[in-house]
Amino acid sequence: MDGILLINKPKGITSFDVIRKLKKILNTTKIGHSGTLDPFAEGLLLVLVGRATKLSNMLMSQNKTYEGTLSFGKHYDTYDHTGEILKEDNKVISLSDLEGIKGAFLGTYMQTPPIYSAIKKDGKKLYEYARSGIDVKLEQRMVTINSLEFNRLSENSFKFITNVSSGTYIRSLAVDLATSLNTYGYLASLKRVSSGSFNLRDSYLIEEVNENSLITISDYFKDSPKVVLSDYLIKLVRNGIRLDDRQIVTNEIFKVYDEFNNLVAIYEPVGINEYKPLILL
């Protein structure tokens, strides 16, 4: 069983909880997700089954779209409403205030991840340091905010939708926006609505899932270039050989077929005029 599942993760459970439940439903152990959602967040979770687990890094690197609620007046240690309040103020923020600073965040900016995150430092996850009360230096990373729109919900509470690069923490974005306005802010809700070409509207609830819910590897790559190789080269491909521009004329991910129209592998470009197997089928 190989393929991609689009799951609508509910609030209140971890991404690992989703995987644990799906292992039982699908009766498989070779399963994982591509891009964690916090327990308080909901929305699209990409689950990879069987040989599709090899797509994890590729899918994780794609842009994602989120919608949620940004609120002002409080600062939590977790950067969202699930944590402990550390600071408060009474400053009132308007929609025009947000629109005035938005331009500074569009494009690339250096972002510091929350201490309550799964990023590893010296072999330990940051949240493990936080729970132990150990101070660690948080390293900034460059992220990209492709779009960011706001609508006022109530005083100091705003609906937002944003498309961002992989590795962007929306909780950090909320805190950074508040800091730019000389106040405190936090993430009150969060929903992932898309990841790459996948959309939440095409997802399944956990209890709806069965084997027919899978997007097959061949379906996912249906629009990728097709390369037919000789029997001699197919034997080498099955052993994981790299290909070069003597056999290939594309610089995209491509499908390798044998002369009987059987899909044998998915290859990806690496370096200049060189290609390595992404998935062997």
3-state secondary structure of 219: helix
Q: How much is the pLDDT for 112?
A: 86
Q: 44 and 102 share a domain?
A: no
Q: How much is the pLDDT for 130?
A: 56
Q: 93 and 145 share a domain?
A: yes
Q: 44 and 92 share a domain?
A: no
Q: In the chain, how many domains are there?
A: 3
Q: How much is the pLDDT for 104?
A: 94
Q: 12 and 56 share a domain?
A: yes
Query: pLDDT tens string for the chain (281 positions)?
Result: 899 999 999 999 999 999 999 999 999 999 999 988 999 999 999 999 999 999 998 999 999 999 999 999 999 989 999 989 999 999 999 999 999 999 999 999 999 888 766 666 666 666 665 566 666 677 788 999 999 999 999 989 999 999 999 999 999 999 999 999 999 999 999 999 999 999 999 999 999 998 889 999 989 999 999 999 999 999 999 999 998 877 677 778 999 999 999 999 999 988 778 899 999 98
**CATH code (residue 230):** 2.30.130.10
In 3D space, the residue among 2, 31, 3 whose CA is nearest the CA of residue 18 turns out to be: 31
CA distance 38 to 190: 9
Q: 206 and 236 share a domain?
A: no
Q: How much is the pLDDT for 206?
A: 95
Q: How much is the pLDDT for 143?
A: 95
Catalytically active residues are 38
Q: 104 and 161 share a domain?
A: yes
**DSSP character at residue 243:** E
Give the predicted TM-score (pTM) of the model: 0.89
Q: How much is the pLDDT for 244?
A: 85
CA distance 254 to 224: 5
**CATH code (residue 75):** 3.30.2350.10
Q: How much is the pLDDT for 157?
A: 95
Q: 97 and 175 share a domain?
A: yes
CB 79 within 8 A of CB 174: yes
Q: How much is the pLDDT for 40?
A: 92
